[in-house]
Structure 1
């Protein structure tokens, strides 16, 4: 007897289907009155699910439009992800069940379809084209994510054009207020003063560079591997009349040879460096500082200190070659290059709020975003940002500030006895 897709799905679940599931063969599963529904549109979607188990297969089907979510907006599928994560649990079929399932669904479902456009190569294929975290390969993967479209980023990120965790001074603060507070908190931790020199590595669209120049009278240099980011930042600097103080270069941070900076900020770059490269990374930043110069490292972390890749979906569609570890590992590596760690702070809940605001922007500007980058890419962003929000809320990932200083040979650090920020 041939088993239909809905029956097969239900047979593999512990506790039943928490949403209404319908398939192209007319079958269904789950409560008929469920507010959220999953619709499998065609055989290609089924093949995606079966040939790449886990988040990658589901992401491929969803990005391609072969698996539809009903009851939530594609710009913010957060409610669906919460429901599925809380209630969807698959069991492994026995060998005889697996044979029966394949026989019922057809051998053709085990033939992998071509991946959707926009998916990065698997890591083993990327390794054939360049060493992981070499300058060439880093430039390629940064371009994959950040050179999407400046117009798209303006729609999603808002006027600040800031693609890193904001700091909410209160729960009802706007995204723009929170991004201003984030930059200002970094500036206060670095104790920026008029006339000082700041290096901002991985500067994005120049938000920190412009804030330091505009609010603190600091001469700021930012570097980014994204050509589109550098172009946008230069235009913003000119538009705001900051060209005498602020500069952004399209450059790898490893190619910055200037030194004697009063401060270095790294906001959202460490995730792209590779854990094995932390010693060289922090040593390079240390060498850019004058004695008593400060370093502020802001990055996504794990709640443990093991090196961990970011998962198949994020690696293929969002941050190729990304790696995360814990704040303890970062502090260890900062100390090992001779910097003194003065303060660490976990801003995990702030990133959940930031991602919720970005999803709202994507939802509010959905048609314009789709027109700019295509529906597949817009779906990727909604899925990844809503999923990341959930991960921050559940303490699966964190966001840490680590503040350090290059002490003098006599041990002077230039700090007051208590923090001033």
Structure 2
């Protein structure tokens, strides 16, 4: 087994008196164990038990959670991956095991790490000692797990960022995993966006139905109206509206979603009112819709494309028509919008987030009048909690369907996202807007007309 232990010679120098410490490096120059290296980077505040393949350990013996670094390849992933990317690579590849939590929901472990660890860069001298200890060979990047997509600068071969072809590839990567897998994770609603919980004890299905109800009411939809749902997923909003007499068209770049949604429309007998197309939203030719809903699409658009996105949606509305934009946001409008690291490579390639202020600005500049905005951040934490519970319940089936590495990615991503929503790092905003008539009228009630 490869270890980081010192390699010492048993030969003695006859010119020097022999002592037990002769020839050994000074204590501050001795090689560090893996556990000692991890302690240095964690600021000696490990909230869990660490074990490593060199036999070293760190952290409380009775800690409820643990990490087990199993291979030299895992060390290379940790040493060469920026931020959370190295940890994700080692975990997904099977070089790092977790203990005390289920891989379908490692939330409690991630929470303990977030609350206790204070990662910092060691001084130059100490960093040099760390490099000597782990070996220079572990600082040479190696091929990542096959589940990882190339970095952004290498995706140019697939088309310019947010071109139609490259967007189609990004959507395919995330949404065409397996409809069966999504059924286990999302539940009967097959809704992969933030739910809206009417009360603390509501089930996931109740909350998703309530979300569609809220959007339907905000858009003031009535029987006979026409709705365009961009980025429609498995057609949840389309079918909800069609059941209430609204003619609804949904578009998605996922072939798997399209097939599933069309079958669901047929099974419910909604074919006269509901349609789901395998299409880019920019290819919708019809206009004069009474309402447009965009539920979880803006994250994939790219911040630089917000202006053209809102102009296009505005052009598809009749005067007096309404738009509801539902999307994940950052907690400020200053942070760089690009996604990086684990999320960009394993979950949402080319995804970008920004603050709600930027979204409102772009909608206004496109000729839409913003009427109302609200933040559903706590609801997304609850949604992710329930998705993780579903994944845990169906873990063996999920692993058989998509493989252990992909199932690990989903557990890690959903649990980490839950923590981010709970702590306010990311949020979920509804922005409701109207396309005014030429004279500025919009014929809407003076106060909000929907039930909270």
Name the TM-score class by shorter chain: over 0.9
Question: Is residue 135 of structure 2 the alignment partner of residue 106 of structure 1?
Answer: yes
CA deviation profile, 1:355-405 (whole Å, cap 9, x unmatched): 000000001100000001001010000001000000001111110000101
CA shift at 1:311, angstroms?
2.6
Q: How does 1:144-163 map to 2 (within 5 A)?
A: 144-163=173-192
Q: Please say if residues 299 and 351 of structure 2, whose CA atoms lie closer than 8 Å, have aligned partners that are also in contact.
A: yes
CA shift at 1:28, angstroms?
0.4
Report the RMSD for the aligned CA atoms in angstroms: 0.9
* Whole-Å separation in 2 of the counterparts to 1:138 and 1:91: 36
CA shift at 1:310, angstroms?
2.2
Match of 2:253 in 1: 225
Consecutive unaligned residues of structure 1, counting only runs of 5 or more, are: none
* Whole-Å separation in 2 of the counterparts to 1:75 and 1:330: 33
* Whole-Å separation in 1 of the counterparts to 2:283 and 2:113: 45
What TM-score results when the alignment is normalised by the length of structure 1? 0.98
Match of 1:269 in 2: 297
Question: Is residue 339 of structure 2 the alignment partner of residue 304 of structure 1?
Answer: no
What is the SS of the residue equivalent to 1:323? coil
Question: Is residue 283 of structure 2 the alignment partner of residue 238 of structure 1?
Answer: no
CA deviation profile, 1:245-293 (whole Å, cap 9, x unmatched): 0000000000001001000000000000001101100000001001100
Out of 388, 393, 396, the residue aligned to residue 367 of structure 1 is 396
Question: Is residue 159 of structure 2 the alignment partner of residue 130 of structure 1?
Answer: yes
Larger radius of gyration: 2
CA deviation profile, 1:64-90 (whole Å, cap 9, x unmatched): 111111000000000000000111122
Match of 2:114 in 1: 85
Match of 1:253 in 2: 281
CA deviation profile, 1:85-125 (whole Å, cap 9, x unmatched): 11112221222222221222122211222110111110000
* Whole-Å separation in 2 of the counterparts to 1:15 and 1:327: 38
Out of 206, 224, 236, the residue aligned to residue 235 of structure 2 is 206
What is the SS of the residue equivalent to 2:324? strand
Match of 1:357 in 2: 386
* Whole-Å separation in 2 of the counterparts to 1:353 and 1:16: 29
Match of 1:412 in 2: 441
Between 1:235-244 and 1:2-11, the stretch displaced more is 2-11
CA shift at 1:59, angstroms?
0.4
What is the SS of the residue equivalent to 2:184? helix
What is the SS of the residue equivalent to 1:222? strand
Match of 2:351 in 1: 322
What is the SS of the residue equivalent to 2:315? helix
Question: Is residue 202 of structure 2 the alignment partner of residue 182 of structure 1?
Answer: no
What TM-score results when the alignment is normalised by the length of structure 2? 0.92
**When the two structures are aligned, how many residues end up with a matched partner?**
420
* Whole-Å separation in 2 of the counterparts to 1:12 and 1:207: 46
Match of 1:294 in 2: 322
What is the SS of the residue equivalent to 2:398? helix
* Whole-Å separation in 2 of the counterparts to 1:251 and 1:375: 31
CA shift at 1:7, angstroms?
1.6
